[in-house]
Amino acid sequence: MADNPLALVVGANRGIGLGVVRELVGRGCDVIATARAPEAATALRDLAAAHPGRVEVRALDMADAAGVDAFAASLAGRTLDSVLINAGVAGPAHRSANAATMEETGALMFVNAIAPIRLGRALLGSMRKDTGVLGFTSSVMGSVALNAGGHELYRASKAALNSLSRGLFAEMRSRNLTLLTLHPGWVRTDMGGSGAPVSVDESAAGMVTVLLGAAGSRRHAFLDYQGKEIAW
């Protein structure tokens, strides 16, 4: 990889994550991009092939705690300018807390909230001093203030991510880094569905503008893909 700014995108083989990788490359960043199954990540591998030396495709399953730790350790010695921990699942989105099992809620919470924080915390030492930006793809559905009901388990998983990200920021203050908890919009992906109003390209362009533009701000904010503040 050349001397370009270096970004990491986790959950980059489809949807918003893939769009963010494409956008970052277009803006001159080199990208480490993860997929659970890199051999099946055709669109991501095609993107990497179209930009030789600019996109490094790595395997990472956020449901594998030891794998998350090992992945973070494997980046020791690299300096990350921007990180977007984007992988997420809807889980038993249409079921209420009264109908969900312990196994499925455990998996939802681990992938959407615990593993992102575990990885983010483990990467702090690899972030560029003073200007590094660590981002989590959350959702407006994680806002407690704006919770109007529905999808309560998915909402709870993103609210947990928001709360954990606030705690992580308190811990990392002395490092002078920036932490963003981001809402990508309601986006036309496998998760968002075909009726969503925002395209992947539009969301990704906004997410990357917000991520890169926050460098050096050293704050923690809950922002949407257009840079608007969201109530916690």
Ligand X SMILES: NC(=O)c1ccc[n+]([C@@H]2O[C@H](COP(=O)([O-])OP(=O)(O)OC[C@H]3O[C@@H](n4cnc5c(N)ncnc54)[C@H](OP(=O)(O)O)[C@@H]3O)[C@@H](O)[C@H]2O)c1
Alpha carbons 34 and 48: distance in angstroms, whole number: 12
Q: Least distance from C-beta 12 to ligand X, angstroms?
A: 6
| Alpha-carbon dihedral sign for residues 188, 179, 1, 67 | negative
Of 167, 121, 119, 161, residue with least CA distance to 140: 161
Residue 88 near ligand X by CB under 6 A: yes
What are the two backbone dihedrals, phi and then psi, of residue 127, each rounded to the nearest 5 degrees? -80, 145
Residue 187 near ligand X by CB under 6 A: yes
The one segment of 124-132, 162-170, 182-190, 217-225 that binds ligand X by CB under 6 A: 182-190
Residue 59 near ligand X by CB under 6 A: no
- Identify the residue among 75, 89, 127, 134 touching ligand X (CB under 6 A): 89
Put the strands of the sheet holding 82-85 in their side by side order.
Answer: 55-59, 30-35, 6-10, 82-85, 133-137, 178-183, 220-224
Number of residues that bind ligand X (CB under 6 A): 28
Q: Which is nearer to ligand X, 17 or 218 (CB)?
A: 17
Of 174, 47, 68, residue with least CA distance to 113: 68
Alpha carbons 187 and 192: distance in angstroms, whole number: 5
Residue 39 near ligand X by CB under 6 A: no
Residue 191 near ligand X by CB under 6 A: yes
Residue 85 near ligand X by CB under 6 A: no
- Identify the residue among 1, 49, 50, 63 touching ligand X (CB under 6 A): 63
- Greatest Cα pair distance in the chain: 52
Residue 189 near ligand X by CB under 6 A: yes
Alpha carbons 62 and 33: distance in angstroms, whole number: 13
Q: Least distance from C-beta 100 to ligand X, angstroms?
A: 17
Q: Which is nearer to ligand X, 111 or 134 (CB)?
A: 111
Residue 14 near ligand X by CB under 6 A: yes
What residues make contact with ligand X under the rule CB under 6 A? 11, 13-17, 36-37, 60-63, 86-89, 111, 137, 139, 183-184, 186-187, 189-192, 196
